[in-house]
C-alpha cells in the first residue's frame, strides 16, 4: 500500500491519494486525524528529569536476572538493545510454555520501560521459530511492548543474506505439495518511551556520518550473522547490529543497556563508539565470557575503547577487574 504525498503550494508536501516523489516539510495532519488513529493512545509523555546512574554501576555487567534491575534508577538509560533468549532448547533456555516465556519477556521489558529515559529507544532483535505452526514471536513482543506502554517506531528486517542460506528444510522439494519457507531474516523491533525526541546535553555529540544515516534509516539491513563457535556463545548477534543502533539512536557518553547480554556484543559496540554500557545475564559462564571479551577489547583497542570516567575501575560482578584506558580520550569527550 502506498500513502502518497503531493507537493503543496506552500513549502512542503502533504498527504494525498496521488502523489509526488519524496517528502519535505511534510504536513501529515490529514493522515493522523483520520479515523484509524482515533483509538490509538497519544503517547507524548512529560519530559521527566534524567536520573544519574551511580558510577559504581556504570560499564558493568550484572550476573543476575534482569526482571529486577534495582541497580538502575527510573529514567536513566538512553538506549536498550537486546536479543532475548528464544526458549528453543539452547543451553541457557528453560523449557517454558509460550505464556511463561511471554511473561518473562514482559517483566524484563517492563523494567526496561521504567529505567529508559523519556525519548529513549528500546530495540529488540528477534527471530520467529517453528513451522507447525510458525510461532511469530515478533508479533507477540510487539503486542506486549505496546501493552507495557511503549510507542512503536518501526521494524527493521535484518537480511542475513548468504550467512543464513544453509537450511535444507524445503518441505516438499520442487513441489507444491507442502513447501516450507526458510527464514533468512530476523527482526529488530524499535520502540520508544513516549513519542518525544531527544536533545543532546552538553558534551554529547552525534557520531553518525551522512552515508551511515542514509543507510541505517532504511528498514532492511543486510549483513552476515555471527558464528556462534567463534564467540563461544550459542546465539550472539554481530557487533554490526548494536553498532548501527547505537550510532542511530545515541550521542557520545550515553548509556546503553542490554538486559540479555550474552557474550557482550552490545558492550563491545558501546565501547567502540564512546558510549557506556550496562549488561545483565543470568548465566555465570556467559558473564565471564563477556567480561573476558570486554577486557580484550579494552586492551587491544586503546584508541577505540573509552569509558566514561577515565579514572574509573571497571569492576565486573563476576570477579574481573578491568582498568579503563586513561590517555585515549578526545578532549570533547572527557
Ligand X SMILES: C[S@@+](CC[C@H](N)C(=O)[O-])C[C@H]1O[C@@H](n2cnc3c(N)ncnc32)[C@H](O)[C@@H]1O
Question: Residue 43, interface with ligand X (CB under 6 A)?
Answer: no
How many residues bind ligand X (CB under 6 A)? The answer is 19
Question: Residue 280, interface with ligand X (CB under 6 A)?
Answer: yes
Q: Kind of pairing, strands 116-126 and 77-82?
A: parallel
Question: Residue 83, interface with ligand X (CB under 6 A)?
Answer: yes
Question: Residue 257, interface with ligand X (CB under 6 A)?
Answer: no
User: CB-based burial of residue 269 (10 Å sphere; 0-12 exposed, 13-18 middle, 19+ buried)?
Assistant: buried
Query: Nearer to ligand X by C-beta: 38 or 95?
Result: 95
Q: How far is the CB of 108 from ligand X (least distance, A)?
A: 6
For residue 155, give the C-alpha cell.
521494524
Question: Residue 233, interface with ligand X (CB under 6 A)?
Answer: yes
Q: State the residue number with the nearest CB to ligand X.
A: 262
Q: How far is the CB of 272 from ligand X (least distance, A)?
A: 14
Q: How far is the CB of 66 from ligand X (least distance, A)?
A: 4
By CB under 6 A, name the one of 263, 272, 317, 324 that touches ligand X.
Answer: 263
By CB under 6 A, name the one of 160, 193, 262, 322 that touches ligand X.
Answer: 262
Question: Residue 279, interface with ligand X (CB under 6 A)?
Answer: no
Q: How far is the CB of 170 from ligand X (least distance, A)?
A: 27
Closest CA to 55 of 301, 315, 321: 315
By CB under 6 A, name the one of 150, 237, 249, 251 that touches ligand X.
Answer: 237
By CB under 6 A, name the one of 31, 92, 216, 329 that touches ligand X.
Answer: 92
Question: Residue 291, interface with ligand X (CB under 6 A)?
Answer: no
Task: Note whether 8 and 27 are within 8 A (CB).
Answer: yes
Question: Residue 65, interface with ligand X (CB under 6 A)?
Answer: yes
Q: How far is the CB of 24 from ligand X (least distance, A)?
A: 38
Closest CA to 115 of 69, 82, 63, 54: 69
Q: Which stretch binds ligand X (CB under 6 A): 18-26, 70-78, 182-190, 256-264?
A: 256-264
Taken in order 165, 227, 317, 254, the sign of the CA dihedral is negative
Task: Note whether 292 and 319 are within 8 A (CB).
Answer: no
Q: How far is the CB of 310 from ligand X (least distance, A)?
A: 27
The DSSP letter of residue 252 is T
Query: Nearer to ligand X by C-beta: 192 or 265?
Result: 265
Closest CA to 293 of 317, 266, 274, 275: 266
By CB under 6 A, name the one of 126, 235, 268, 307 that touches ligand X.
Answer: 235
Q: How far is the CB of 236 from ligand X (least distance, A)?
A: 4
**Whole-number Å distance between alpha carbons of 226 and 289:** 16
Taken in order 292, 295, 299, 303, the sign of the CA dihedral is positive
Question: Residue 286, interface with ligand X (CB under 6 A)?
Answer: yes
In sequence order, what DSSP letters do the residues of 123-182 get, joined into one string? EEEE--B-STT-B-HHHHHHHHHHHHT-EEEEEEEEE-GGGGTT----BSTTSTTSB---
Q: Kind of pairing, strands 220-222 and 151-159?
A: parallel
Question: Residue 158, interface with ligand X (CB under 6 A)?
Answer: no
Contacts of 80 (CB under 8 A, 6+ apart): 112, 116, 120, 121, 122, 123, 256, 257, 258, 259
By CB under 6 A, name the one of 50, 186, 254, 281 that touches ligand X.
Answer: 281
Question: Residue 260, interface with ligand X (CB under 6 A)?
Answer: yes
**Whole-number Å distance between alpha carbons of 162 and 181:** 16
**Whole-number Å distance between alpha carbons of 78 and 166:** 37
Query: Between 118 and 147, how does the x/- string for binding to ligand X read (CB under 6 A)?
Result: ------------------------------
Name the residues that contact ligand X, by CB under 6 A. Answer: 65-67, 83, 85, 92, 233, 235-237, 260, 262-263, 265, 280-283, 286
Amino acid at each position: 500500500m502506498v500513502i502518497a504525498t503531493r507537493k503543496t503550494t506552500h513549502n512542503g508536501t502533504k498527504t494525498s491519494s496521488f502523489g509526488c516523489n519524496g517528502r519535505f516539510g511534510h504536513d501529515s495532519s490529514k493522515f493522523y486525524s483520520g479515523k484509524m488513529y482515533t483509538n490509538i493512545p497519544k503517547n507524548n509523555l512529560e519530559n521527566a528529569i534524567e536520573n544519574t546512574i551511580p558510577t559504581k554501576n556504570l560499564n558493568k555487567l550484572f550476573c543476575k536476572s534482569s526482571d529486577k534491575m534495582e541497580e538502575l534508577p527510573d529514567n536513566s538509560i538512553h538506549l536498550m538493545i537486546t536479543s532475548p533468549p528464544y526458549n528453543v532448547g539452547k543451553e541457557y533456555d528453560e523449557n517454558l510454555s509460550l505464556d511463561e516465556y511471554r511473561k518473562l519477556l514482559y517483566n524484563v521489558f517492563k523494567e526496561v520501560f521504567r529505567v529508559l529515559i523519556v525519548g529513549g529507544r528500546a530495540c529488540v532483535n528477534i527471530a520467529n521459530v517453528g513451522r507447525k505452526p510458525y510461532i511469530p514471536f515478533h508479533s507477540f513482543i510487539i503486542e506486549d511492548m505496546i501493552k507495557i506502554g511503549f510507542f512503536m517506531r518501526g521494524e527493521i528486517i535484518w537480511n542475513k543474506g548468504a550467512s543464513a542460506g544453509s537450511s535444507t528444510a524445503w518441505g516438499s522439494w520442487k513441489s507444491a505439495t507442502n513447501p516450507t519457507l526458510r527464514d533468512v531474516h530476523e527482526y529488530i523491533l524499535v520502540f520508544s518511551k513516549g513519542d518525544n525526541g531527544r536533545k543532546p546535553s552538553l558534551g554529547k555529540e552525534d557520531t553518525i556520518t551522512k552515508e551511515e544515516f542514509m543507510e541505517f534509516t532504511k528498514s532492511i539491513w543486510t549483513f552476515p550473522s555471527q558464528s556462534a563457535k567463534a564467540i563461544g556463545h550459542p546465539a550472539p548477534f554481530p557487533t554490526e547490529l548494536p553498532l548501527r543502533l547505537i550510532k542511530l539512536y545515541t550521542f557520545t557518553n550515553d548509556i546503553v543497556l542490554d538486559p540479555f547480554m550474552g557474550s557482550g556484543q552490545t558492550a563491545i559496540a558501546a565501547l567502540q563508539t564512546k558510549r557506556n554500557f550496562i549488561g545483565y545475564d543470568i548465566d555465570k559462564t556467559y558473564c565471564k565470557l563477556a567480561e573476558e571479551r570486554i577486557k580484550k577489547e579494552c586492551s587491544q583497542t586503546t584508541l577505540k575503547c573509552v569509558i566514561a570516567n577515565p579514572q574509573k575501575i571497571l569492576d565486573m560482578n563476576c570477579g574481573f577487574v578491568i582498568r579503563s584506558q586513561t590517555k585515549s580520550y578526545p578532549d570533547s569527550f572527557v
